[in-house]
Amino acid sequence: MWVPTALLAMMSFSFPSRLRSGIRAHGRLPLLLTLCAAASCSYLEDGGGGPGPFEPRSTRFACTQDPFVIVEGRWLAYLGSEAATGPNGRDANRDGDVQDLVAVLVDMAAEQQISLGVAAEEIAILGDDIYLVTSEDEDGRDWSGDILLDDQVLLHWRRGQGLSYVANLSQRGRRPILIEGDRLYFVDAPAIPLFAPDTTFSYVDVAAPTTVVRVQNVDGISTLDPIIRGSDEGLVFLLLDEAVEGADLNSDLDLTDQHVLALFDANDPIGTIRNVGLAVSGESVPIRARETAPNDYLVGFLVEEASQGGTNLNDPILFDPAWQPAHCAGLEDTDTNDNVLFFLHFAAWFPNPGANPAVNTGLVGSDRILAVPGTGGFQGWVGTLSFEEDEGTCSLNIDDLDDPNNQDQEDFVFRWCEATTPVLPFNNINQLFAMRQAEGEAKGASDLNDRFIVVLNDNTDGRDLDGDPDTGFNNLLGILNPNDGAAARWSLDHGTTGFQPAGVNWMKEDRENGRLLLSFAEVVFGAPLNSSDSDILDSIAVFARFDPIDFDDLDFPGAPIATDSFDAGLVLAGGIAFFRVSEQNNFRDYNGDRDRNDIVLFRTQIDTQRKTRYIATLKNNNFTNDPPGKVVAGGSFGVAYQANEVRDRHDWNHDGDKNDFVIRWFSLP
């Protein structure tokens, strides 16, 4: 574990980093925008000589307060607001109103802006192919050619080809499109009935970007009309509605279940869909698929008792006598209101689900599922965040059976088991601790580097986990290797000399870069880490990684400057970390506006933490309740963020007012 030893000689480990003096000025060069009136669009080249790396440029269309923005490869795409652009709005798609959100592209490599002149709800980028989800009634055009304006359609755009119609989309489900590998998947609304084994789940790919290919149903005798839940490591999760399919898909003798799970392997070029035959709670159900070998996955998901025949799936009578923690005997769950963790091994299950069915672990779950491949003869591990109240009347993390103060059912406890039968959860009472769902996408739990990494909390647990008798605040990062089996223990010591815990307020995974993005709390470390004040009330943005030599050692590199403690907003792109910095927490006016009330954007190099610099002022002063992604990292060309003209007192998009939210972006070296 590293902290800045040059900053504090008394610390027991070091960040190899230093905040260098000076702030880079952020210049601006307007880019060219072309409005499209029809299905084709022209664009103009910027003449070159634009701003250098990290110097923000502005887009011309204003955006909403909560915009849709993506960055992928050389492309930045977002939905621009007609109503907010210009004093009277701008009718970009020429439908007679200024109420639409329209698709806007930025080619960051060529420094061009392009308005596609069409109302859109979502944008996807697949190489240089751009796809739009568009409602005809909002856009005012009959893209499907059926005279009516009632379709939701998929459109395609590529430089030099303009916009073209691809397919009618199903209007069921929240997620109309999904990219996996070189394909864009969607559920279409076919004009004529399907014939088995075709399904409405379809794709286009980079080799034929407008040719629709239907995925087939593995049973060969029926059609399927699913909705898309999401994907993980190449495995796609689909949901089936029994009323739509006209069949009892989960064998509970009714036709009322709306979300029966099905799976599709997108890494198999000729993959087919298979129904798992178990009902889940809805489109937000957490699912984890960990690729363990080519075309094989350890899959964990939560089954809803109420939809699965009203069955008590965590009744101890269903399991081995050792399944239940000994101190919970007589306190077991008796209702059918829970979501319960199941697992399956995909390569064994898919060809023969009868012989290798999904397995009930009996562990109640919520919000997050983790999966770790097995080593040393183990078959892999699955875990989830269990709320004690859902597990009968037993206090899972009780540390003193005689102390009634520790016998509540108000905690979340991370629980796990080996992905084998008989199911035997890890029940060591001395290692079942209350956890805290820290702010950030990871919700305080990760399986990075084949370890369980969980934010434990000694306040809610009632036990002193860090050797500090003060248990009033400590969110402590614990690491456990489940492949240690019964000998597995949580480690909270991340120091090189002496016991040193790590406090965490915000947490996000970056699996692509093998990093765990955190806000690292001074109060747990016990000393100031940012160079601008002497209190221990702040947090430092760190991009943790496991040491490549010692896989059990988690290092915490980061620049010694205080972030927004509960929303660090860390993103990585091109070997550079971008993160939110609080002027108030650092007692500094970074943007020169004569106050210390702003949240600003900084950058630093991941490998050395050098060249730490201010880039820009962000949208507002509190991102805690905003969805992640207001700072958007994507491809190798640039990063986008949202600016607020009112706060900046600047007309960034040159529309004659200073009232807008504007997407700004900068290139990477």
Extract the tokens encoding 99. 């109420």
Phi then psi dihedrals of residue 252, to 5 deg: -110, 15
- Domain membership of residue 663 (yes or no) is yes
Neighbouring C-beta atoms of residue 220, cutoff 10 Å: 9
pLDDT at 5: 33
- Domain membership of residue 656 (yes or no) is yes
Extract the tokens encoding 357. 């069915």
482-526 pLDDT, tens per residue? 999 999 999 999 987 788 899 999 999 999 999 999 999 998 988
How many percent of the chain have pLDDT more than 70? 88
515-570 pLDDT, tens per residue? 999 999 998 988 999 988 899 999 999 999 998 888 788 999 999 999 988 889 89
Beginning with the edge strand found earlier in the chain, give each strand of the sheet holding 260-265 in spatial order: 227-232, 235-240, 260-265, 273-279
- Domain membership of residue 59 (yes or no) is yes
With CA atoms as reference, report the closest residue to 275 among 322, 234, 221, 325.
Answer: 221
For the cut 90, the answer to whether the pLDDT of residue 205 exceeds it is yes
CA distance readout (Å), 88 to 82, 83, 98, 151: 9, 7, 8, 29
210-226 pLDDT, tens per residue? 999 999 999 999 999 99
**Tokens 């506006």 correspond to what residue?**
593
384-408 pLDDT, tens per residue? 999 999 988 889 987 555 555 556 7
Residue 625, C-beta contacts closer than 8 angstroms, at least 6 positions apart: none
- Domain membership of residue 141 (yes or no) is yes
Mean pLDDT of 377-384: 98
Residue type, 265: D
Best mean pLDDT range from 336-345, 385-394, 494-503, 618-627: 336-345
Extract the tokens encoding 664. 């700004």
- Domain membership of residue 160 (yes or no) is yes
Mean pLDDT of 141-146: 96
Domain count, the chain: 1
- Domain membership of residue 665 (yes or no) is yes
With CA atoms as reference, report the closest residue to 286 among 516, 447, 451, 133.
Answer: 447
48-106 pLDDT, tens per residue? 456 888 999 999 999 998 899 999 999 999 999 999 999 999 999 999 999 999 999 99
- pTM value is 0.90
- H or E, element range at 562: strand 558-562
- Domain membership of residue 271 (yes or no) is no
With CA atoms as reference, report the closest residue to 361 among 242, 457, 278, 442.
Answer: 278
d(CA 612, CA 603): 5
For the cut 50, the answer to whether the pLDDT of residue 46 exceeds it is no
147-172 pLDDT, tens per residue? 999 999 999 999 999 999 999 999 99
Extract the tokens encoding 361. 């672990």
d(CA 370, CA 290): 9
Q: Is the peptide bond before 325 cis (omega within 30 degrees of 0)?
A: no
Residue type, 449: N
| CB neighbour burial string for 434-469, b if at least 16 within 10 angstroms, e if fewer | bbbbbbbebbbbbbbbbbbbbbbbbebbbbebbebe
Q: Is the peptide bond before 351 cis (omega within 30 degrees of 0)?
A: no
d(CA 440, CA 629): 11
Q: Strand 177-180 relative to strand 162-169: parallel, antiparallel, unpaired?
A: unpaired
- Domain membership of residue 471 (yes or no) is no
**Where in the sequence is the domain holding 133, given as residue range(s)?**
31-173+634-669
User: How many CA atoms within 13 Å lie on the side-chain side of 655?
Assistant: 26
Extract the tokens encoding 166. 């691809």
